[in-house]
Amino acid sequence: MHLLDLNDDILLYIATQSLLSRTVLSIMSRTCSKLHDLLSPALLREPVALDRSNLASFALFVHAGCLRNPAFSAPLRCINFDFWQVPDALDSPTLEDSVPLLSGLLECTQHLTELSIQGIVLALTPEDLRKVLASLPTLQSVKLYGLTRDYHDVLTNVCPGLKTIVLAFMEDDSPHTSLPVDPRPFLQTHGPSITKLVLSGVTLDASGTRCPGIVDLQIVDYSVRNADSGLTGPLVHLFPNVEHAHLLFLQRASNATTFSFRQSLDLHTALKDLRTAAARWQTTHGSWPNGLRFLEVESLVGLYCLGLRCDAARVKIWIPSDPFRIAHTALADVRPRCLQFSVSRLLEMEDVLRLLDAVSQTRSLDHLIIDISPGLLHELSFHSLLSQVGDALRDSHVSHILVHVSNGDDEGEPLLDEPPELLLSPHGDMRTEEPLLGLLANGNRRFHRLFLEVKGHSLRAWECGITDGQGVQELDEADARRILVREDMLL
């Protein structure tokens, strides 16, 4: 019996449930029309990552269907193409030759909903990119990396169904453009319809047409044209209905915004200038009226210089250090209910404890999420960590704490193989849970629940009496997750 004598269900099961790699399946699909038609949906179901090394091969695979049926359209939903990636094979197409290959491939993917292109400036002219996008009427998400201001009209009157736009700009060589790129011309026909916007390397001012549909805003490397608005004015004016804001590396770009920031040797004074300008603008024009559900900033310095005058239900800070003793003021601006921060090394604990001192003075804050890396637990026991946290939170309003231990993959750290119960006690003695939670409840009558999640293991949670810190009870995982959802603490 030959392989093709098997019925389609068995062939599909062998192909998709075996350990065959995607590359092997792709080779099999090009051996005959039956296997091509059978395996194409399975191969194209997941996002496809392409660069010049595999572009020609993948285009040949897709065009095989078009040759047999002119009406064929690959059931592909997502393509990620990278011009930056240096090809492995010597016979890979040049940057110039890869453009018609990519364009021809996309003409056969009429159902595509997500497209990401990196290194655009290397190969695609503004006209090339506009033609590519115009051929994709069903696109809902576009991510364009490596743009300059010359591409300002590539999204005009194309892709009417876009909901997500990601624009990453790079400096151009023009001697007349010292500021980062203004992204508003790129958004002129999509401002009312998109719901998620991600920007990198941009400058904004508090004028122009608004984008009322955006609820998820992410900006990295951001400066303002008019220092009188502060960093907050343009965001509130242009994106009035934002609910989730991720604003990173603000102070790095701020040296292009105010004279005092450029000239002053006192960075704290310069930050106060930005903060004062933002507060003054909001007093006149208002802030986000409904507050924010989530606000992510790089540091307390970034939060401080934003000078926000609205509530943010949950605030995430990458770096907990407080070099200017501004944590309490920065947190008082946004009055968060939940604070999330990271700690990866023992030497960062001093900054963490100083931050927790500010937390204990912030009446609105009753939930904490602490992201810790395996590296910290190789230097400090979980028991000692909770003991220090508990001491810093005496007389605070904190009632819920979620401790999340990452797997360390991204940082190249050794994995933490211990399940949560072994973190509680060096000997895995579950009777130590009660005094362990007592470290958090002692001196803090409001403390109620502790959640512990080690990535790759199950979630565990405990509940203690609110009044006396006694009577510790472990919750089952389903109940614990329901509580996290209810308390808006899911990661």
Task: List pLDDT tens digits, range 185-206.
Answer: 999 899 889 999 999 999 999 9
Structure confidence at residue 71 (pLDDT) = 55
Task: List pLDDT tens digits, range 161-184.
Answer: 999 999 999 876 555 555 689 999
Q: Please tell me whether residues 176 and 111 are part of one structural domain.
A: yes
CATH of the domain at 67: 3.80.10
Count of domains for the chain: 2
Structure confidence at residue 164 (pLDDT) = 98
Q: Please tell me whether residues 69 and 37 are part of one structural domain.
A: no
Q: Please tell me whether residues 21 and 93 are part of one structural domain.
A: no
Structure confidence at residue 454 (pLDDT) = 86
Structure confidence at residue 61 (pLDDT) = 76
Asked, for residue 6, whether it belongs to a domain, the answer is: yes
Asked, for residue 42, whether it belongs to a domain, the answer is: yes
Structural domain span for residue 185: 47-194
Asked, for residue 76, whether it belongs to a domain, the answer is: yes
Between 159 and 23, the more confident residue is 159
Q: Please tell me whether residues 114 and 133 are part of one structural domain.
A: yes
Structure confidence at residue 271 (pLDDT) = 82
Give the containing element (helix H, strand E) for 354.
Answer: helix 349-360
Structure confidence at residue 74 (pLDDT) = 62
Domain boundary among 194, 219, 246: 194
Asked, for residue 406, whether it belongs to a domain, the answer is: no
Task: Please list, in sequence order, all residues whose beta carbon lies within 8 angstroms of the beta carbon of residue 249, skipping any fewer than 6 positions away.
Answer: 220, 221, 222, 298, 302
Domain boundary among 10, 30, 46: 46
Asked, for residue 392, whether it belongs to a domain, the answer is: no
Task: List pLDDT tens digits, range 361-413.
Answer: 999 999 999 999 888 988 988 888 988 999 999 889 999 999 999 865 555 55
pLDDT-wise least confident of 131-135, 338-342, 380-384: 380-384
Closest CA to 89 of 55, 63, 121: 55
Q: Please tell me whether residues 41 and 51 are part of one structural domain.
A: no
Q: Please tell me whether residues 61 and 150 are part of one structural domain.
A: yes
Share of the chain above pLDDT 70, in %: 82
Q: Which residues of 119-137 are buried (b: 16+ CB within 10 A; e: fewer)?
A: bbbebbebebbbbbbebbe
* Unique residue bearing structure tokens 């231990």: 405
Asked, for residue 309, whether it belongs to a domain, the answer is: no
Tokens of 356: 């927790």
Q: Please give the backbone phi and psi of residue 246, each rounded to the nearest 5 degrees, phi first.
A: -115, 105
User: To the nearest whole number, what is the mean pLDDT of the chain?
Assistant: 84
Task: Please list, in sequence order, all residues whose beta carbon lies within 8 angstroms of the beta carbon of residue 368, skipping any fewer than 6 positions away.
Answer: 338, 339, 340, 359, 398, 400, 401, 402
Closest CA to 316 of 334, 328, 291, 290: 334
For residue 251, what are the β-bridge partners? none
Task: List pLDDT tens digits, range 245-291.
Answer: 999 987 554 444 443 344 444 677 878 888 999 999 999 999 999 99
Q: Please tell me whether residues 87 and 179 are part of one structural domain.
A: yes
Highest mean pLDDT among 115-124, 218-227, 387-396: 115-124
Asked, for residue 68, whether it belongs to a domain, the answer is: yes
Q: Kindly write down the DSSP assignment for every residue of 142-195, as one continuous string.
A: EEEEEE-GGGTTTTTT--TT--EEEEEE-----TT--S-B--GGGGTTTTTT-S
Q: Please tell me whether residues 42 and 160 are part of one structural domain.
A: no
Domain boundary among 194, 226, 250: 194
Q: What are the Cα distances from residue 120, in Å, to 67, 129, 146?
A: 29, 8, 5
Check pLDDT > 70 for residue 432.
Answer: no
Show the CA angle centred on residue 243, arms to residues 156 and 290, nearest 5°.
120
Q: Please tell me whether residues 76 and 30 are part of one structural domain.
A: no
Q: Please tell me whether residues 53 and 103 are part of one structural domain.
A: yes
Q: What is the mean pLDDT of residues 213-236?
A: 92
Asked, for residue 436, whether it belongs to a domain, the answer is: no
Give the pLDDT band of residue 355 (cuts 50, 70, 90): very high
Q: Please give the backbone phi and psi of residue 464, each rounded to the nearest 5 degrees, phi first.
A: -125, 165
Tally of CB atoms within 10 A around 445? 14
Q: Please tell me whether residues 94 and 173 are part of one structural domain.
A: yes
Task: Please list, in sequence order, all residues whose beta carbon lies within 8 angstroms of the beta carbon of residue 428, skipping any fewer than 6 positions away.
Answer: 421, 422
Give the pLDDT band of residue 138 (cuts 50, 70, 90): very high
Q: Please tell me whether residues 20 and 86 are part of one structural domain.
A: no
Between 416 and 35, the more confident residue is 35
Check pLDDT > 80 for residue 15.
Answer: no
